Amino acid sequence: MNVKKERLVIGIAGLAIGLIAVALVFFGNPANMGFCIACFIRDTAGGLGLHSAQAVQYVRPEIIGLVLGAFVMAHIRGEFSARGGSSVMTRFALGFFVMIGCLMFLGCPFRMILRMAGGDGNALVGLAGFAAGIGAGVFFLKRGYSLKRSYKQSAAEGAVFPAVQLALLAVLAALPSLLLFTPADGGPGAKHAAVIVSLGAGLIVGALAQVTRLCMVGGIRDFTLFREKKLLIGFAAILAAAFLGNLALGKFDPGFADQPVAHTDWLWNFLGMLLVGFGCTLLGGCPLRQLVLAGEGSVDSAVTVVGMLTGAALAHNFSLASSAKGATANGKAAVVIGLVVVTVIAVVHTFGKRTAKGEEK
């Protein structure tokens, strides 16, 4: 594919994804939350009873759809490739702390864009932190940071994570009594589009993200590293389409105070997204990209998602997650610990002795 066509395709896909995100809110999702990978993984953790915050319990079909959409599209394009074994527990830890950062800010990078498109000024503060975090990650990438290579795995191994999503879908459709649900009007978990709408939206966006390699972290990262604009075009297209969609539906409400599922503590919005940007750059992709890669057969990304799921569960079990009232003391401590851990991982994997098999400095 030549560069012009590639940019056109990701631009169109980004516009479509932005509109789908606005449509999901129209059909029932919480405001500025057509998609939020972190929030939806957190809701899924709640739906499975991994945490007991009643306000955020719902096995979100969007997540299932994103993974399966990428899985199907990767097969159609002959790109399904089971691989793994690249510093697996380190990826788990990074996924864990990326989730802590997201729940401090109240959103993943995808929702950060949707919050900006809805007029939420706090998301601009988040963007500044996010960009600074990516800058920190790029600093280490340029100096040789690597989680070492991955290796081919059996197709069966690569299919486990998509199969788990299929099983979750089966339970949600046929045995919902096994799962926990936020009671009506009980919080964001109660706000959702119909299962079939959410699933369909996830499938389409998962497929589009597979084809275009869309990644919210990749845009700013590649531009900083190589002046490469492709992924940044996707980022901008989502923002533009969601902004226009919100304007059309009268849902654009500029300001800082009383924004939906958001708080105004600027320092912690900044530091939360700093942790997300830094952690995601070290992982090689944003939470959405991790789901898509997991659908394409990456076991490393599947483990990262499990790390995020664990982070989400613990964030609510130990009051680390923020709410509209603001950040918690425990959450602030967790973000600081996260920044220290992520920095240590970056330093060790940049300047540490390369002892992995077959690797030399």
Of 84 and 338, CB closest to another protein = 84
Q: Scanning residues 270 to 329, which ones bind another protein (CB under 8 A)?
A: 284, 300
Q: Scanning residues 191 to 220, which ones bind another protein (CB under 8 A)?
A: 213, 218
Residue of 137, 95, 69 lying closest to 301 (CA atoms) = 95
Q: Where does this chain touch another protein (CB under 8 A) — which range of 149-157, 319-327, 328-336, 344-352? A: 149-157
Binding status of residue 32 toward another protein by CB under 8 A: no
Q: Shortest distance, CB of residue 146 to another protein, whole angstroms? A: 6
From residue 290, alpha-carbon distances to 297, 306, 317 in Å are 11, 10, 24
Binding status of residue 350 toward another protein by CB under 8 A: no
Q: Shortest distance, CB of residue 208 to another protein, whole angstroms? A: 15
Among 32, 44, 57, 86, binds another protein (CB under 8 A): 86
x/- track of binding to another protein for residues 122-141 (CB under 8 A)? -------------------x
Binding status of residue 79 toward another protein by CB under 8 A: yes
Of 149 and 170, CB closest to another protein = 149
What is the rounded distance in angstroms from the CA atom of residue 262 to the CA atom of residue 116? 12
Binding status of residue 83 toward another protein by CB under 8 A: yes
Structure tokens at 318: 């130990």
What is the rounded distance in angstroms from the CA atom of residue 278 to the CA atom of residue 339? 8
Of 1 and 257, CB closest to another protein = 1
Binding status of residue 156 toward another protein by CB under 8 A: no
Of 64 and 208, CB closest to another protein = 208
Q: Shortest distance, CB of residue 14 to another protein, whole angstroms? A: 17
Structure tokens at 76: 């159609």
* Interaction site with another protein (CB under 8 A): 1, 3, 6, 79, 81, 83, 86, 141-142, 146-152, 213, 218, 221-222, 225-226, 228, 230, 284, 300
